[in-house]
Amino acid sequence: MNALIIEDESLAADRLVKMLSKEDDNINVLAVLDTVEKSVAYLRDNPFPDVIFLDIELGDGKSFDIFEEVTVNSHIIFTTAFDEYAIKAFKYNSIDYLLKPLKKAELATAIQKFKHYFAMSGASIDMSTIMKALRGKEYKTRFLITAGPKLYSVNTSDVAFVYTKDRQHFIKTFAGLDYTIDNNLDELESQLNPEHFFRVNRQFIINHGAIDQVFAWFDGKLKLQVNPPAYEDIIISRLRAMDFKKWLGK
């Protein structure tokens, strides 16, 4: 079994080489690479290994950048300290992973899984699925603004809130500027990162950074004071208030 190690921590790479040699003397480590650039060059100029032990965070980028340059047919075992959400995604897609620091028993299990599942079944790897799992959901990062004959973009990080008024849709920036947009709030609710934006009612999606004060209101409702100010009072219903408080306290 030919293996390639892509790992930018020299001590971790040396340790993995030693662990592999002890685990199975039929594992032939072809090379140890520490950057995206070197990995792309190697994979373009050499036959694909049977398996790649792949770290995610490399010195010059993330390892999924490799697969944007080269179509790789090798099987992947991740060696990473990546977050739990991504790890669950790898597991769901039958991708092996090892958490650092590597443990002998877990390495042995990963190798056995490779041998008995991937090698024997000939299952192929869908790298687009892996990259989506690595990145997680991709959220909107910019708004396209039309101003007369000109087009330009506004970063979502500069947007204090999105709102609807008189059946038109707008963004208001932290600088206090208002721009019309084509997207409606129902579309944007799933496109904006929920870590930063919350749909408080039918008229407003609020950026966390725009919230100035929150007041208890009638019948268990909440009232928001935002900066820059909104064109009307922002009221959160009693049913929505509980989800809002959980979001606010994350």
> What are the structure tokens assigned to 83, written together?
């977050």
Task: Kindly report, residue by residue over 40-79, the tens digit of the pLDDT.
Answer: 999 999 998 988 898 888 878 888 788 778 888 788 888 8
pLDDT band at 95 (very low <50, low <70, confident <90, very high): low
Alpha helices per DSSP H over 82-237: 84-92, 104-113, 120-121, 127-135, 185-191
Please give the domain boundaries of the chain with CATH numbers for all domains: 2-135 (3.40.50.2300), 142-248 (2.40.50.1020)
Write out the H or E segment, with its range, that includes residue 83.
none
**pLDDT surpassing 80 at residue 196:** yes
Task: Kindly report, residue by residue over 123-144, the tens digit of the pLDDT.
Answer: 555 555 555 555 555 788 999 9
To the question of pTM greater than 0.85 for the whole model, the response is no
**pLDDT surpassing 50 at residue 208:** yes
Q: Within 13 Å and on the Cβ side, how many CA atoms surround 212?
A: 10
Phi (first) and psi of residue 110, to 5 degrees: -65, -40
pLDDT band at 117 (very low <50, low <70, confident <90, very high): low
Letter string b/e over residues 44-55, b meaning 16 or more CB atoms within 10 A of that residue's CB = eeeeebbbbbbb
* Residue 231 CB neighbours (<10 A): 12
